[in-house]
Amino acid sequence: MQTVSTRLNSLDALRGFDMFWIMGAEEVIHAISHVTQNPIIHIIDNQFNHVVWNGFQFYDLIFPLFLFISGVSTPYSVGRELEKNDEKSKIATKIIKRSLILVFLGIIYNLHGFQLKPLAEIRFPSVLGRIGLAYMFACIIYVYASQKFQYVWFGGLLVFYALLLHFSSAPGFPTGDLTMEGNIVSWLDRTILPGRLHRKIHDPEGLFSTIPAIGTGLLGIFAGNLLKKGNYLPTRKAAILAIGGLICLATSLIWDIWLPINKQLWTSSFVLHAGGWSLLLLSFFYYVIDVRNYRKWSFFFTVIGMNSILIYMSDVFIDWWFTSGRIFDWIGKILGEHSYEIILIIGVLTIKWIFLRLLFEKKIFLKV
C-alpha cells in the first residue's frame, strides 16, 4: 500500500489553534463580554465555559481535540518506527516512557512547580496525565492490532464503558445513577486514587474515565491512517473526514438520549460528539492548508502548535500576567479602566506568541 509520509502542516496549525484557547484567548472573550454587557457577545462568551455536568459547549472540545490530534500524529511518528521494522516491544517501551513523562509533568503542573505538599493535598489526575495514559494505550493498540481490530477496540471500549455506567453505581445509589455523587466512575476514583480529587468527590481527569478517552485517541489514529495512505486523492480524504465527523455527531446525539454527552465522565456519547467536531475541524484545516495550499494565515497557529507542551507548562514557571502588566500597564491606563483587563490579557497572549516565535526561529522545540 502506497503511503504519504510528508508532514501535515494542517496538523501543526490545528494543534496551535487548540492551544491558542488554552493559552488564555478565552479570557479575552470573557473580558469583552464583561465590559460591553452585549447580549450577543454574552452568548458567544458562554461557549467558552465548561458545561457543569451534562451537555456540550465549544470549550468542552478543547481538551479532547488535543488528544485527538495526538492520535492523528501517531501513524506518522510511531508508524515511521514500524516501517523501519523496529521491534514492537522497543516501540512500546518508548511509548510508555513518553506517557510517564506526561503524567509526571501533569503532577508538576498541579503542584505549580516543585512545591512539597502532604500526599493528601496532591492531585494526581491531570490534563497531561489523561493525555499521556490515553495516548499510551491507544498507541499500543495501534502497534499490536491490525486496522480492523483497532476499530473493534474502539467500539468495544465505548460499549464497555457505557454498560459500566448503565448497570452499576456507587453504593447506596440506584443502578445507572449518573449524578456526580452516584456514578460508579467517580466512586471508584475517590475510593482508589490517592491524594485529592479536583471536585473532592469527583475528578474530570480521573483514572477510570481514561477508558473511553482511549477511544478519542483511537479516533485520531483512524484519521491519521486515512491521511497517510496514498490510495485516495487529498480532496476525497477531506470529504471522508467531514462525512465521518457528521456521522459521529449524529450518532452521539442519538446516544445522548440514553447516555448523556458528559465531559466530566467522558461518556461514550461525548467521545463521539467531541470526535465529530474534531474530525470536521481536521477536515477543514487539511483541505484549506494541505490541499488548497492556503498557508500564510495559519502561520500564527503553527508557531504555537510546534511548542504546545512547552507553552502549557510555562504557566508553572513564568508569571506572564506580571510581565504583561509591566509592559502594557501604561496602555491600559490611557484607554481607561474598562479596557485595562482586555489590554493585559492581549498582552499576555502577545508575549507568549513572541516567545514561541523566537523558539520557532531558533528551531527549539520541546518534544515528549
Q: Are 174 and 106 in contact, with CB atoms under 8 Å apart?
A: no
CA dihedral angle for residue 44, residue 47, residue 49, residue 52, rounded to 10 degrees: 130
Residue 363 φ/ψ region, left for φ over 0, alpha for ψ in the -120 to 50 degree band, beta for the rest: left
**pLDDT tens, residue order, the chain (368 aa):** 344 445 789 999 999 999 999 998 998 898 888 888 888 888 999 999 999 999 999 999 999 999 999 999 999 999 989 988 879 999 999 999 999 999 999 999 999 877 778 888 899 999 999 999 999 999 999 999 999 999 999 999 999 999 999 999 999 999 999 999 999 999 999 999 999 999 999 999 999 999 999 999 999 999 999 999 878 899 999 999 999 999 999 999 999 999 999 999 999 999 999 999 999 999 999 999 999 999 999 999 999 999 999 999 998 888 898 888 888 887 766 766 667 888 888 999 999 999 999 999 999 888 87
Element (H, E) at 81: helix 62-83
Distance CA 317, CA 314 (A): 5
Directed axis angle between helix 210-228 and helix 127-144, to 10°?
50
Q: Alpha helix (H) ranges present in 256-289? A: 268-285
DSSP state at residue 264? T
Among candidates 276, 260, 162, 168, which has minimal Cα distance to 211?
162
Q: What is the pTM of this model?
A: 0.93
